[in-house]
A and B are shown apart, each in its own frame.
Chain A
Amino acid sequence: MKSAVVQLPGLNRDRDMIAALTKISGKAPVTVWQTEAEIPDDVDLIVIPGGFSYGDYLRCGAIAARMPVMQAIKDKADKGVKVLGVCNGFQILVEAGMLPGALMRNSSLKFVCKEVKLEVVNAETDFTRAYEKGQVIRCPVAHHDGNYFVDPETLAGMEDRGEIVFRYAEGTNPNGSLGDIAGVMNRRGNVLGMMPHPENLIEAAHGGSDGRGIFASALDVIAATA
């Protein structure tokens, strides 16, 4: 399994993501710059990490969604390559139309960085196979605009098809997201967007490794348990 991490000006959790992918797969991911129109053929997982791409000016993810590299990512996704967007990466995927819904300002109107609980709603995805359905894991969040919204009709379809992958559990919804939604995937099941940061909970130094399963699943390596 070979992975790629997208680097755009203003993204700032790219180094965290590169470290996590390297530690879990034993191989450093390739990096892809904003202007690159192609992504290497042998990449099986493309990750758009968190941060503030282009300063989050205009709207979170809006400028990034229009950069040349996004077309290359869309082309890959259309061919079935896995795409994971975390935090700003999720916002970018939504802005690019690769995932439904919108991410609004947190209901508190404040940036929030804390640990929350996540319920693995769908454990039969390429990103969550390492978990059990209904399992509750710990995961940190750090964002200003993570309040997920989608229209009721689309939501009903997503729920029916199992596209709601993570929900905030045990009353820990940090941002007012509709239905406690923390992560969603596309219809084909190869594009996942999530606000929490599993890359910041993968080893003893982080105080736990609950986030590891997402990368272990996506990279097809045996999940190391906490």
Chain B
Amino acid sequence: MTIPNSIAITPELVASHGLKPDEYQRILDLIGREPTFTELGIFSAMWNEHCSYKSSKRWLRTLPTKGPRVIQGPGENAGVVDIDDGDCVVFKMESHNHPSYIEPYQGAATGVGGILRDVFTMGARPIAAMNALRFGAPDHPKTKHLVSGVVAGVGGYGNSFGVPTVGGEVEFDPRYNGNILVNAFAAGLARTDGIFYSKAEGVGLPVVYLGAKTGRDGVGGATMASAEFDESIEEKRPTVQVGDPFTEKCLLEACLELMATGAVIAIQDMGAAGLTCSAVEMGAKGDLGIELDLDKVPVREERMTAYEMMLSESQERMLMVLKPEKEEEAKAIFVKWGLDFAIVGKTTDDLRFRILHQGEEVANLPIKELGDQAPEYDRPWVQSNGRQPLPASKVAAPANYGEALLKLVGSANQSSRRWVWEQYDTLIQGNSLQRPGGDAGVVRVENHPSKALAFSSDVTPRYVEADPFEGGKQAVAECWRNLVATGAEPLAATDNLNFGNPEKPEIMGQLVGAIKGIGEACKALDFPIVSGNVSLYNETNGIAILPTPTIAGVGLLPDWQKMAKIGSARDGDRLIMIGTDGSHLGASVYLRDILDTIEGPPPQVDLAAERRNGDFVRSLIRNGQVTACHDISSGGLAIALAEMAMASAKGMKISLSEQRGAAHALLFGEDQARYVIAVPADLANFVQASAESAGVPFRPLGAVAGRELVVDDLINVAVEDLAKAHESWFPTFMA
């Protein structure tokens, strides 16, 4: 009995595919007839926001994507950056927000799986992962369930696959109550002459299906991820895919073995919109048509329709164009690893995307136009109203500084994330030099005597909300700063732009502002964006998330023996703040968590100062003059000192004697471009003189001593008590 592929196309059916009437008209104009049901599915998969970037493309083009080290910028599975000696780092960050809210374990797990596949599709062995997670208010009834599921899912997939998770973020805010964010980052190592691309070449060559079998899971996932949520969300559970890290690990090994044989002409992983997106991508890039025979696709369910096969988002699958003479050799590798290997089609010269099923042609579409002719919008946007300035003199000082500090280090957002990262394998591969909890994760480059890579992921959504442009700049600056704080030279970044519904001008304004800010900061810091992902429609019942453009960056350390850490301060070391005194309390953690109010603009990011101060700190680290280093960010100087003291398990005696501004602004102000460094006592004068001659502002703070963090007569708290408060919030919350 044949499987029915023909279903009448009605306006309701078109609408349920997320296609607007004008978009459907565009389809009719393009193909000159009514699409088949399968074709409608294909258009819906290719033209949704998630796959087509139709609202963001116009603005993404403005980002700097080139640089002397950039081998591959956006447009491939991942960005590629040269790290000398014929090595390169391949990396990308991608969201899995919508599925993770619906089914946290599998949503997060397949997010990790998808990004790992993006990296090894290019011929790179994954060496590091990070995860930027954002959840609703801790007291929201769903939050604990989501945290526990997402963290278990991230760990469940990454640990089994065998990649160390070396960094990330976890934040809580009521604005994520209805839409959590799961942004997964992965980086891999490859040789610059061994990178694989998705562009097909050659006519009449076999198109090979690799990996796991196709099932009905995830059908329509990308379309679901391009819509807002409402009460019907529970019905969307079947659109979430199910991950199998074991198969992915086998697929990694098989792909790397296969690539070494020289059999691969082009390769593309099947991610969002599975077989459709991967085939169209390979053909369109290579100016070739693709013909697929669905009767040859390995399936794990019976009676799957062409529509279901083309839209399935089953995981752990790849599509490849193969050198025909290598077929037997290639097949043997996949048999060895217990994976499917099936020739499912061929490249053609007619630029058509043709799908055959049960001997019938169920789709015949122009392949270039499917991608290139996707609608692109210049959506109306409005600049958000800037907030009124908020001078520190208008902000109340804490009644008790010590209590305020204890409260902050033990708060939902500033407390230790150990509960989370101890569920991730942070050590596997034996190259982790810095694990989560410091400024950046650092991983040694295998087979090189001294090289290492640093990774950090950052954004401060409350700043972006207050001022998208400055907030966008700050996300880049903080990521850059965190890399510098280890002694690394920041090389390039990937962006994961999470916003609400772009059809609302104020949301579109946030996206535009943030991208402009990111672009400006990336240019000023020579920190190009080489890959990325956009996640829009993060709204539930009309309430949008905080605008969250996550920036994940990669830095290079030529000699890891000279890297700096947050927790290596020694008794007697002198502490010096690099950068200007804290003065800015607008949009600060102090305001939010101590005074319980959200007002004021975010701190301005002076990119020239950022660069100058960062270059200075990096040179100190590389000259071996720094024993510990930490950037100053949320919570200001006080939090930075406390974090350093806790990580080093040492006390500090700090004096702000030459005080110029208000003490609470000095301690909790979130001014940018600042670091705390610990230097050996005998180098303190030299370091300060160097700062002076480099035109870098600094302030001597005091020394590492005793068991308490003491700041004049304002703060005197045992480091042990700080650590207790810092470490106890998360386990208590999750208990």
Report which A residues bind B (CB closer than 8 A).
9-10, 12-13, 15-16, 19-20, 51-52, 54-57, 110-114, 140, 142, 144, 197, 199-200, 205-206
Contact = CB atoms under 8 A, between A and B. Distances in A.
Nearest to B446: A19
A200 B246 contact: no
B156 interface: yes
A51 to B, nearest CB: 7
B422 A199 contact: no
Instruction: Report, nearest first, the 10 A-B pairs whose CB atoms are least far apart.
Output: A12-B162, A55-B246, A52-B160, A16-B430, A142-B425, A200-B427, A10-B246, A113-B425, A111-B423, A111-B155
B246 A111 contact: no
A15 B429 contact: yes
Nearest to B433: A205
Interface string B149-166: 000100110011110000
B155 A12 contact: no
A20 B422 CA distance: 23
A9 B336 CA distance: 10
Nearest to B435: A113
A54 B249 CA distance: 10
B430 A57 contact: no
Contacts of B431: 205
A200 B249 contact: no
Given A51-B162, A111-B159, A205-B560, A9 B423 contact: no
B246 A54 contact: yes
Contacts of A54: 246
A12 B160 contact: yes
B411 to A, nearest CB: 23
A52 B247 CA distance: 11
A113 B423 contact: yes
Nearest to B151: A110
Given A51-B162, A111-B159, A16 B250 contact: no
Interface string B470-508: 000000000000000000000000000000000000000
B430 A20 contact: yes
A15 B423 CA distance: 21
A200 B435 CA distance: 13
17 contacts: A10-B160, A10-B246, A12-B161, A15-B429, A15-B430, A16-B428, A52-B160, A55-B247, A57-B246, A110-B423, A111-B155, A142-B159, A142-B425, A200-B427, A200-B428, A200-B430, A206-B430
A168 to B, nearest CB: 15
Interface of B: 152, 155-156, 159-162, 244-247, 249-250, 253, 337-338, 421-431, 433, 444, 560
B427 A140 contact: yes
B249 A12 contact: yes
Contacts of A9: 246, 249-250, 253, 337-338
A179 to B, nearest CB: 23
Contact of A10 (B156, B250, B422): B250
A52 B162 CA distance: 9
Contacts of A113: 159, 421-427
A51 B426 CA distance: 14
A12 B252 CA distance: 11
B246 A52 contact: yes
A197 B426 CA distance: 12
Contact of B427 (A15, A51, A52, A197): A197
Contact of B244 (A16, A55, A114): A55
A190 to B, nearest CB: 26
Given A9-B338, A15-B429, A206-B430, A55 B245 contact: yes
Contact of B429 (A16, A55, A110, A144): A16
B428 A142 contact: yes
B442 to A, nearest CB: 10
A200 B164 CA distance: 12
B337 to A, nearest CB: 6
A52 B245 contact: yes
Interface centre among B422, B424, B425, B433, by most chain A C-beta atoms within 10 angstroms, is B425
A112 B423 contact: yes
Nearest to B162: A12
Which of B159, B244, B338 has the most C-beta atoms of chain A within 10 angstroms of its own C-beta? Answer: B159
Contact of A56 (B155, B160, B425): B160
A197 B430 CA distance: 10
A57 B338 CA distance: 15
A15 to B, nearest CB: 7
A56 B244 CA distance: 11
A12 B225 CA distance: 32
A15 B18 CA distance: 46
Given A52-B160, A110-B152, A13 B422 contact: no
Contacts of B155: 111
B47 to A, nearest CB: 36
Contacts of A10: 160, 246, 249-250
B244 to A, nearest CB: 7
Nearest to B163: A12
Nearest to A141: B427
A113 B156 CA distance: 12
Nearest to B426: A113
A12 B164 CA distance: 11
A110 B425 CA distance: 12
Nearest to B160: A52
A10 B252 CA distance: 11
Contacts of A20: 430
Contacts of A206: 430
Nearest to B252: A12
